[in-house]
Amino acid sequence: MENRRHHKRTFTGYGPNDMKKELSKWRPEVVELWEKCSVPEAIDKETFQKSFIRHVNTTLARSIYNVDNFSAYQATAHAVRDRLIQRWNETQQIHTERDQKRVYYLSLEFLLGRSLDNALLNLGLKDAFGEGVKELGFKMEDILGQEVDAALGNGGLGRLAACYMDSLATLCYPAWGYGVRYTYGIFQQKIVDGYQDEFPDYWLNFDNPWELPRVDIVVDVKFGGHVNKITEGDTVRHEWVGGETVQAVAYDVPIPGYGVKNCINIRLWSSKPRRKFDLGKFNAGEYDQAVQEQMKAEFLTAVLYPNDNHMVGKELRLKQQYFWVAASLYDMWVEVRRFKKSQRDWNEFPDQVAIQLNDTHPTLAIVELQRILVDEERLGWDEAWEIVTNTFAFTNHTVLPEAMEKWPVPTMSQLLPRHIQIIFDLNLFFLQKVEKFAPGDRDFLARLSIIEESTPQYVRMAHLAIVGSHRVNGVAKLHSKLIKETIFKDFVRFYGPDKFENKTNGITPRRWLHQANPKLSELISETLGHKDWLKDLSLLKKLEESVNDKEFRRRWIAVKHSNKVRLADYIRDVMDIDVNPNALFDVQVKRIHEYKRQFMNILGVIHHYNNIKSMSPEKMRNVVPRVVIFGGKAAPGYYIAKLVIKLINSVASVVNKDTNIQDLLKVIFIPDYNVSVAEIIVPASDISQHISTAGTEASGTSNMKFVLNGGLILGTVDGANIEIHEEIGDDNIFMFGHLAEQVEDLRYAHRYRDVTMDPHLNAVIKDIESGSFGEARIFAPLINTLTFGKDYYLISDDFGSYLDAQKLVEEAYKNEKDWAKKSILCTANMGKFSSDRAIKEYAESIWGTVPVEV
């Protein structure tokens, strides 16, 4: 209990019944005033302009003569924020009043991007506000461009969490997200001499209008100390005492639904020192040291770890995880106390609360809830565990071995002495059941154990998450099948298959079509005669009927072209390179990772380049001009990934200035890929590459974004590519490469047999080694991954079919009419990949929650 006693949390109780009771005590004039002063639901231009000017004068303390684009952005954002807060309040009130089961989505990353445009569109204020700022002398476009991304995530996993929040709000589920308010988001990438350079992303440099600081919501989180075992009669209880305390302060980020009044919340925790500090040191004259110790607390949430699909075992990361999970559970516990007041049985807890674990990062929440129930609520162990397992569900995001989270037992014992005891006890009881299930099978036991019996021992977080959850899901059909057959095979044998499900990822069509591609959105709405497709994406299917309409196709092509012009303008602005918008735009943007095989792409580019160079002028006329666009960040410590970036830029600098190939090939590496950049790139692609080694990309979500925007895919039989293929049909996608079930044998062959390399690939490697793209020795470690490294990602096995597929792309692109048809059919058949569909599936089969509309 000790760490609870210090908490400064005051529960303000936003229950409407409390409020009505409270208000009835007041004089009627006061009540009337209160109601009059609440912000009106401004939809008209004039109300907005008044609000804008008021915020310039008061919030920004500026005069009318001193408003630049940035101030205009701030004033507009604050005018929107006023409306968001009102909706937020109403939503929380109604959700409290209705008291339906709630979902808490725990994610260490939320890759939200910008908020203003999204809020304007979701609230239906864009036109009125656009007119309003125009009359005041500003362009909405310029104002929107002022906002910095909220980049509190690495890539797909963080962006998924953001899309899911949009759907949870739009579908009116009573849901909250919990995350960490990093002072520094994902680093900013600059390209210097072809290499990636990292710069800190101090995104809070200016006031952030999209968060509401809750200085009154402060939770003490404890680390270290020791555990006292207290015997009372024939019961034993544990008391966690001593150690250091860090405070978690809440910042709320409102997430408005589209076309509804619901506005849900992401609560992000920021660490801060306790106000009280070591008086002993203070009195001894070591004031500065005492302050310094306190300062360390702030460091806890300073920085997002920049690794995607890769575990880095830093102690600070484990501290971040517990800090966030402990604060979030305590916060939910406020709800639980409400729950306790209502005298319901604890066993009903899982009927009130569902907690979804986005990957293993929040797995300690399982242990923390067990600790609260057993140590603080004094429930029996088994009764508590029943409640815990019925509350949690776990989403697995990868099968890559290097991404599997495990923490050394000694580190965890130091930081969380009571939790490690609980983990060992849980494991003991779990393994007792396993032993009964498979008597004497020591290997089976060792494979399932939460503890890896090495020196030192490790806690396997995925195992803990499975044991502590009632449902485990993968994120695409193939991935969910693979986890059942590989990494979690033994668990399937033990629990039976029903605990394991598939929930294919989705993306929000609001941001990824309506916001990112306004012209296409308009064309679709006009053609379908409604905007309902934005809330029911399966309605896009009807676009199929227009595929033979010549005028419709012409407009479809024109929209794509104008998006390509927009991207070409962006490339000119940031890189000072001109690209031809009539060329085929061939895009691969995503985190740079060996399994995603950007290396294979650039090797293919070299092949293509050499091919063009060898052509006669007549033959050259048959080549489709192509702009190959790359983008993505490499983890700062990922040497090979960073070399891939260097190779791409080295190839670009040779190709882009080679006048012999005319305008037939350009290679572009767009720096600092993030959500806002994606919103410009995605609508402009003709073809995008999703070419991971089969079985390695759990789902992918950018594949969905591109196809929804009428871009075709060149992809492997992996992740959600497979389901996209199922939906859009053979004619509208270019698939190639070996299958997941072949990967093991192929790797075995590379390891133990002499495999002859694909001759085209061999020629490309020789070319790099001859110094065609700068000093060959720079790239030796990269080339070694194919040779000495035994080509783990099977580039040599897929290279031939990759080049063949690229040829098919080129041929197909020459037929503008057929290409336009393919493009339309792509968009028309993407209904399944809305995050709305995914969230409904989670709600129905895992959470058991129902919508509560404001």
Among 572-580, 660-668, 673-681, 780-788, which window interacts with ligand PLP (CB under 6 A)? Answer: 673-681
What span, in angstroms and rounded, lies between the C-alpha atoms of 137 and 75?
14
* Shortest distance in whole angstroms from residue 113 CB to ligand PLP: 7
Indicate if 531 belongs to the active site. no
Q: Which long-range contacts (CB under 8 A, 24 or more apart) does 739-743 make?
A: 739/694, 740/478, 740/482, 740/694, 740/695, 742/694, 743/693, 743/694, 743/695, 743/794
Among 24-32, 172-180, 435-443, 701-709, which window interacts with ligand PLP (CB under 6 A)? Answer: 701-709
Burial of 65 (0-12, 13-18, 19+ CB in 10 A): exposed
Does position 306 interact with ligand PLP (CB under 6 A)? The reply is no
Count of residues near ligand PLP by CB under 6 A: 11
Among 107, 674, 696, 835, binds ligand PLP (CB under 6 A): 674
Active-site residue among 596, 607, 642, 821? 596
User: What torsion do the CA atoms of 72, 74, 80, 83 make, to the nearest 10 degrees?
Assistant: -130
Q: Are 337 and 377 in contact (CB under 8 A)?
A: no
Active-site residue among 245, 701, 716, 785? 701
Q: Which phi and psi (to 5°) does residue 596 adopt?
A: -80, -15
Site string for ligand PLP, 143-172 (x = CB under 6 A): ------------xx--x-------------
For residue 143, the SS3 value is helix
Within 584-643, which residues bind ligand PLP (CB under 6 A)?
590
Among 415, 675, 717, 786, binds ligand PLP (CB under 6 A): 675
Measured CA angle at 630 (ends 561, 825), to 5 deg: 45
Token digits of residue 446: 């060792």
Does position 711 interact with ligand PLP (CB under 6 A)? The reply is no
Among 196, 352, 473, 701, binds ligand PLP (CB under 6 A): 701
Site string for ligand PLP, 801-820 (x = CB under 6 A): --------------------
Angle 721-728/477-485 helices, nearest 10 degrees?
Answer: 140
Active-site residue among 705, 738, 822, 832? 705
For residue 248, the SS3 value is strand
Q: What is the 3-state secondary structure (H, E, C) of 507-522?
A: ECHHHHHHHCCHHHHH
Name which of 629 and 678 has its Cβ closer to ligand PLP.
678
* Shortest distance in whole angstroms from residue 605 CB to ligand PLP: 19
Name which of 700 and 711 has its Cβ closer to ligand PLP.
700
806 closest CA partner among 611, 516, 546, 542? 611
Active-site residue among 159, 310, 397, 607? 397
Among 365-373, 464-472, 603-611, 695-703, which window interacts with ligand PLP (CB under 6 A)? Answer: 695-703
Does position 304 interact with ligand PLP (CB under 6 A)? The reply is no
Indicate if 590 belongs to the active site. yes
Token digits of residue 268: 């992000």
What span, in angstroms and rounded, lies between the C-alpha atoms of 324 and 617?
63
* Shortest distance in whole angstroms from residue 155 CB to ligand PLP: 4
Does position 509 interact with ligand PLP (CB under 6 A)? The reply is no
Name which of 159 and 463 has its Cβ closer to ligand PLP.
159
Token digits of residue 498: 């029903």
Name which of 362 and 719 has its Cβ closer to ligand PLP.
719
Q: Are 709 and 686 in contact (CB under 8 A)?
A: no
What span, in angstroms and rounded, lies between the C-alpha atoms of 566 and 598?
24
Beta partners for residue 473, in sequence order: 395, 501
* Shortest distance in whole angstroms from residue 589 CB to ligand PLP: 7
The full DSSP string for 612-676 is: HHTS-HHHHTTSPPEEEEEE-PPPTT-HHHHHHHHHHHHHHHHHTT-GGGTTSEEEEEESS--HH
Q: Are 693 and 595 in contact (CB under 8 A)?
A: yes
Burial of 470 (0-12, 13-18, 19+ CB in 10 A): middle
Largest CA distance in the chain: 96
CA 720 to chain CA mean position, Å: 16
The amino acid present at 420, given as its one-letter code, is: I
Indicate if 535 belongs to the active site. no
Does position 354 interact with ligand PLP (CB under 6 A)? The reply is no
* Shortest distance in whole angstroms from residue 674 CB to ligand PLP: 5
* Shortest distance in whole angstroms from residue 51 CB to ligand PLP: 31
Active-site residue among 591, 626, 690, 738? 591
Site string for ligand PLP, 20-59 (x = CB under 6 A): ----------------------------------------
Question: Which DSSP state fits 755?
Answer: P
Does position 737 interact with ligand PLP (CB under 6 A)? The reply is no
For residue 268, the SS3 value is strand
Among 288-296, 699-707, 774-782, 817-825, which window interacts with ligand PLP (CB under 6 A)? Answer: 699-707
* Shortest distance in whole angstroms from residue 706 CB to ligand PLP: 9
Indicate if 436 belongs to the active site. no
* Shortest distance in whole angstroms from residue 116 CB to ligand PLP: 18
Query: 799 in the Ramachandran plot: left (φ > 0), alpha (ψ -120 to 50) or beta?
Result: alpha
* Shortest distance in whole angstroms from residue 208 CB to ligand PLP: 19
Burial of 762 (0-12, 13-18, 19+ CB in 10 A): middle
* Shortest distance in whole angstroms from residue 565 CB to ligand PLP: 22
Among 353-361, 495-503, 674-682, 784-792, which window interacts with ligand PLP (CB under 6 A)? Answer: 674-682
Site string for ligand PLP, 537-576 (x = CB under 6 A): ----------------------------------------
The amino acid present at 227, given as its one-letter code, is: V
What span, in angstroms and rounded, lies between the C-alpha atoms of 418 and 813?
62
Among 256, 700, 710, 711, binds ligand PLP (CB under 6 A): 700
Active-site residue among 590, 642, 646, 666? 590
* Shortest distance in whole angstroms from residue 714 CB to ligand PLP: 13
Q: Are 162 and 154 in contact (CB under 8 A)?
A: no
Among 123-131, 613-621, 700-708, 729-737, which window interacts with ligand PLP (CB under 6 A)? Answer: 700-708
Name which of 154 and 183 has its Cβ closer to ligand PLP.
154
Name which of 82 and 198 has its Cβ closer to ligand PLP.
198
Does position 245 interact with ligand PLP (CB under 6 A)? The reply is no
Contact footprint for ligand PLP (CB under 6 A): 155-156, 159, 590, 674-675, 678, 700-702, 705
State the catalytic residues.
397, 590-591, 596, 701, 705
